[in-house]
Amino acid sequence: MVCACKEKTEKSSLPKLGTAAIDFNFQDLRGQTWSLDKVRGKVVLLRFWADWCPYCRYEMPVIDKYYRKLNKEGFLVLAVNVKQSAEVALAFTAQLDITFPVPLDPDGKIARRYGVYAIPTNFLIDRQGVIREILIGEVFREEAVLRDLLKDYFKFERRGEEK
């Protein structure tokens, strides 16, 4: 069973697996601009979230743990805050000590382009800019899910040897 925090929006079709990711252009909380071209060559977890979603509160630290571990190897998390102010997004991420970039989508334009109808929604984009996974709702409660998602792109130490 998949759980998600739904907002009253028109449900539209999501981009398809195995197709090129839809181009985006947005600014994060630190003022840095992000686009699909800028992230090419990295494995990207493009995550759409909001502070009112209870799953985001416990999933974000799990995601951040892997971001800290794999960032230098080419793992990038872009956690797109949807329809909230920079102040709200900053307060939420500061409280959880999140280190990955948090772009803002204040009018929900990019979320709509990606067909997002539930929060959180995650897209795993490979180094060539192709969507490899679409995950909607509560999926990263357990670290193993994220680890399994990333195992084809990064080397992990054997279980029990992890630092």
The per-residue pLDDT string of the chain (163 residues; one tens digit each, 9 = 90 and over) reads: 444 555 444 444 458 999 999 999 999 999 999 999 999 999 999 999 999 999 999 999 999 999 999 999 999 999 999 999 999 999 999 999 999 999 999 999 999 999 999 999 999 999 999 999 999 999 999 999 999 999 999 988 765 544 4
How big is the CA angle at 29 (ends 87 and 120), to the nearest 5 degrees?
80
Q: Which residue type occupies 133?
A: E
Whether this prediction's pTM lies above 0.85 is answered by yes
- And the tokens for 121? 């929604």
* Domains of the chain as residue ranges with CATH: 19-150 (3.40.30.10)
Both ends of the chain: CA-CA distance in Å? 31
Q: What is the pLDDT of residue 163?
A: 45
Q: What is the pLDDT of residue 15?
A: 86
